[in-house]
Amino acid sequence: MKPTLIIGASPRSSSYANMAMHALKEAGHKTLLYNPTGRKVDDREVYTTINEIDQEIHTITLYVRPSRLAPIVEELIALNAERIIFNPGTEDPAIIQAFQDAGLQALEACTLVMLRTQQY
């Protein structure tokens, strides 16, 4: 199974990105983590640039505000993931359109809800 890339991975246990990382693991999904700060998350390495990622990605799930996402949109598109999940607070019509124009499925949804309702 291709992994899920979490954009905005965080070591804070109260963050939704961290909750999603654990929920995805519990559901049997492999995850890759991205945060430009490079802080480890639960002793896991974190990618600090998108260009470092050399694996096929199934899903990209977003946990950063649009202003932080905009500079990496083209790099994310180049990963050619099957879908992009815009979790609450990450939505931006122009960025969503950019992914759709590239032929990628862009969903305004919540990864945690999708997992709990078997829609992931």
- The CATH number assigned to the domain holding 104 equals 3.40.50.720
- Cα torsion at 11, 117, 69, 30 (round to 10°)? 60
Which residues constitute the domain of residue 74? 4-116
pTM over 0.85: yes
Residues 82-91, buried b or exposed e (16+ Cβ, 10 A)?
ebbbbbeebe
Asked whether 60 and 69 are in contact (CB, 8 A), the reply is: no
Q: Which pLDDT tens digits describe the chain residue by residue (120 residues)? A: 789 999 999 999 999 999 999 999 999 999 999 999 888 899 899 999 999 999 999 999 999 999 999 999 999 999 999 999 999 999 999 999 999 999 999 999 999 999 999 999
If one counts the domains in the chain, the total is: 1
